[in-house]
Chains A and B, each alone.
Chain A
Amino acid sequence: GAVVSQHPSRVICKSGTSVKIECRSLDFQATTMFWYRQFPKKSLMLMATSNEGSKATYEQGVEKDKFLINHASLTLSTLTVTSAHPEDSSFYICSAKDRAGLNSPLHFGNGTRLTVT
């Protein structure tokens, strides 16, 4: 099946610093990747849609200047949490579709657990 690799799996940072999370599609090209956030015992919430070669599309309520997304190639999207604060502590998960088609399922990376102290 499709493999989406995410790195790092866990990161602890101090308040005010920035953290970069990488998401790679290993065996397919992904023109679009999706970034989700999940708080404990809550469901996944879509943060933004990452588009290769163009600007990301952010969901309502998600600050684009705080969550910087770059999708420079067909296999790599990055999410940078800038000036992180404790309330940004969460589980961040990227995903992609392994084939064209608006109704295709998403495959998820292993997630990044961010803890801001």
Chain B
Amino acid sequence: QKEVEQNSGPLSVPEGAIASLNCTYSDRGSQSFFWYRQYSGKSPELIMSIYSNGDKEDGRFTAQLNKASQYVSLLIRDSQPSDSATYLCAVISSNDYKLSFGAGTTVTVRA
């Protein structure tokens, strides 16, 4: 089982819609979770971090964490074409504190 799993997509949504991205992780002791955005040919950019169960909102982004289900998600509201990118879920291991990445979900926002 991979440490961090994401649907690879591609996820295509119309402009203005909500994009929903999901991520599951295997390390039950993990406490820190991040979402990165990576444009093609560029390096990842941190967009959200979440440490506690529940929702965390930042602008058009909402991260949701459920540690019991080992599940973290990202919602992008009012999707814009500029949101088209690959979104990487990342989890810090409770064992060695290294950051592990999922394979990423590619999102395409149609104008």
Binding site for B on A (CB under 8 A): 1, 6, 34, 42-44, 46, 49, 93, 102-111, 113
Contact = CB atoms under 8 A, between A and B. Distances in A.
B32 A103 contact: yes
5 contacts: A6-B43, A42-B103, A46-B100, A103-B31, A108-B43
With most chain B CB atoms within 10 A of its CB, the pick from A93, A103, A106, A110 is A103
A105 B88 contact: no
Contacts of B92: 102-103
A43 B34 contact: no
B80 to A, nearest CB: 21
Contacts of A113: 41
A105 B98 contact: no
Contacts, number: 47
Interface of B: 31-32, 34, 36, 41-46, 49, 51, 88, 90, 92, 97-104
A43 B104 contact: yes
Nearest to A44: B101
Contact of B34 (A6, A42, A49, A105): A105
B51 A107 contact: no
B43 A109 contact: yes
Given A103-B31, A103-B32, A103-B92, A43 B46 contact: no
Given A6-B43, A103-B97, 8 more contacts: A43-B88, A93-B44, A102-B92, A103-B51, A104-B32, A105-B99, A106-B34, A106-B99
A8 to B, nearest CB: 14
Nearest to B31: A103
B99 A34 contact: yes
Given A42-B103, A102-B97, A103-B92, A111 B43 contact: yes
A91 B97 CA distance: 23
Given A43-B88, A43-B103, A43-B104, A111 B42 contact: yes
Contacts of A109: 43
